[in-house]
Amino acid sequence: MWQKMRERGREGERERFFWVLIIMLWSCNDSKLSHIPYVPTPYKLEEPANFVKMQIPPDNPFTVEGIALGERLFFDPILSIDRSISCSSCHIPNLAFTDGKAVSTGIDKRVGRRSAMSLINVGYYYKGLFWDGRVKSLEMQALMPVTDHREMGNDWKTVEDRLRRHPEYPELFRRAFGIKRAANIDRYLAAKALAQYERTLVNYNSKFDRVQRGEARFTAAEKRGWQIFFDDTLELPASECGHCHIDPLFTTLGFFNNGIEQINTLNDFHDKGRGVVTGRFVDNGKFRTPTLRNIMLTAPYMHDGRFATLDEVFDHYISGGHFADNLNPNVRKLRIREQDKKDLIAFLQTLTDSTFVNYSALDRHGSI
């Protein structure tokens, strides 16, 4: 009997030793980070003079370290359940941060509901993010793709765990946000970093901008297209485009029905868009006016990617679109001829800024 008890005691000791080891390993993993300096470097965003200054949330100021972390997260598939999809899979820099598809595809080739949006100048979109404007801030938005089952199909607990155990992220979070230990990494800090990175995606070096600054000139066709676009002169036909796609952002950020869907009643829209957010019947089928900057890079077009080319987009607007009770009156039959259409497209081509190929916020500003 004594023998047995002694053996059990030894087993107990072994068990205790085993647990102590586990706890030690665990606490190594959650090691203190205080030996890594936390000296955040303020970052000054370069903004074009004709943009209204960007509003930066006071609890998430720009820092070089925050942007670097956000950029790293944006391009890292670690956020998706099977590590196959990053934010940049659907927001590809050289497609002006879209994906070239009608509707996006997530993990396991799951088909999304809507077309991926360009993130260019997204820091200025204060009237609500997404096609229906349902989200207020970039910090809130950044939490959503991870858990969307059609996008990254993950949960934040898993992501937090992966980031805490990662060989490099704890240091990057420490440098950006001054966390004391890896266990302090959480979704809200990740979202803050992503938002900082996204706010750096400011675009103002297209030919159009250079013409505005007196550094370049429009060709005759571009100028004619520009005049038609903004209904500049009575000698040329009106296009009404400029009411909603106003410069410098080429959007008022307003929500409109621009008549792309044929319906009998406002209940029939395939995607009710803004109506779901406001709960107002009259908002059914309205979507946020997208920017036309880099429009040559972001086909196919509209929230469901229904038009493959700009030619198709123009044919739609020239026809006046499908009637509905809430069709915006600026969408009406136009007297735009073939030559006018060509010139309008020449003008829209001046809105391309190819400096976004291989874009890196920090390279561009030479800060890191």
Instruction: List residues binding ligand HEC (CB under 6 A).
Output: 79, 85, 87, 89-91, 104, 106, 112, 114, 116-117, 119, 122, 125, 129-131, 138, 141-142, 145, 151-152, 194, 198, 239-241, 243-245, 256, 258, 260, 287, 289-290, 292, 295, 298, 301-303, 313, 317, 328, 330-331
62 touches 261 (CB < 8 A)? no
Q: Which is nearer to ligand HEC, 33 or 195 (CB)?
A: 195
Closest approach of ligand HEC to the CB of residue 90, in Å: 3
From residue 96, alpha-carbon distances to 123, 296, 298, 353 in Å are: 15, 9, 7, 9
Q: Which is nearer to ligand HEC, 6 or 333 (CB)?
A: 333
Closest approach of ligand HEC to the CB of residue 47, in Å: 18
271 touches 73 (CB < 8 A)? no
Q: Which is nearer to ligand HEC, 131 or 204 (CB)?
A: 131
Closest approach of ligand HEC to the CB of residue 242, in Å: 8
Q: Which is nearer to ligand HEC, 31 or 94 (CB)?
A: 94
Q: Which is nearer to ligand HEC, 179 or 238 (CB)?
A: 238
In this structure, what token pair is assigned to residue 296? 């040559």
Closest approach of ligand HEC to the CB of residue 274, in Å: 9
Closest approach of ligand HEC to the CB of residue 20, in Å: 39
Closest approach of ligand HEC to the CB of residue 26, in Å: 28
* CA terminus-to-terminus distance, the chain: 70
d(CA 122, CA 199): 7
Q: Which is nearer to ligand HEC, 151 or 222 (CB)?
A: 151
- Residue 285: name the closest of 307, 305, 256, 254 by CA: 256
Q: Which is nearer to ligand HEC, 27 or 94 (CB)?
A: 94
Closest approach of ligand HEC to the CB of residue 144, in Å: 8
317 touches 238 (CB < 8 A)? no
What are the φ and ψ backbone dihedral angles of 40, each rounded to 5 degrees? -65, 140
What sign has the CA pseudo-torsion 284, 261, 340, 209? positive
Closest approach of ligand HEC to the CB of residue 61, in Å: 19
Closest approach of ligand HEC to the CB of residue 37, in Å: 28
Q: Which is nearer to ligand HEC, 64 or 85 (CB)?
A: 85
Cα 158 from chain centroid (whole Å): 23
Q: Which is nearer to ligand HEC, 112 or 181 (CB)?
A: 112
What is the residue whose two structure tokens read 């990494």?
A: 185
What sign has the CA pseudo-torsion 212, 224, 98, 130? positive
255 touches 274 (CB < 8 A)? yes
In this structure, what token pair is assigned to residue 107? 């993990």
Q: Which is nearer to ligand HEC, 30 or 232 (CB)?
A: 232
d(CA 54, CA 199): 8
The four Cα atoms 94, 190, 124, 117 give a dihedral, to 10 degrees, of 40
From residue 290, alpha-carbon distances to 14, 68, 182, 212, 255 in Å are: 65, 28, 39, 21, 9
Closest approach of ligand HEC to the CB of residue 30, in Å: 25
> How many other C-beta atoms lie within 10 A of the C-beta of residue 247?
17
From residue 279, alpha-carbon distances to 159, 271, 320 in Å are: 34, 14, 27
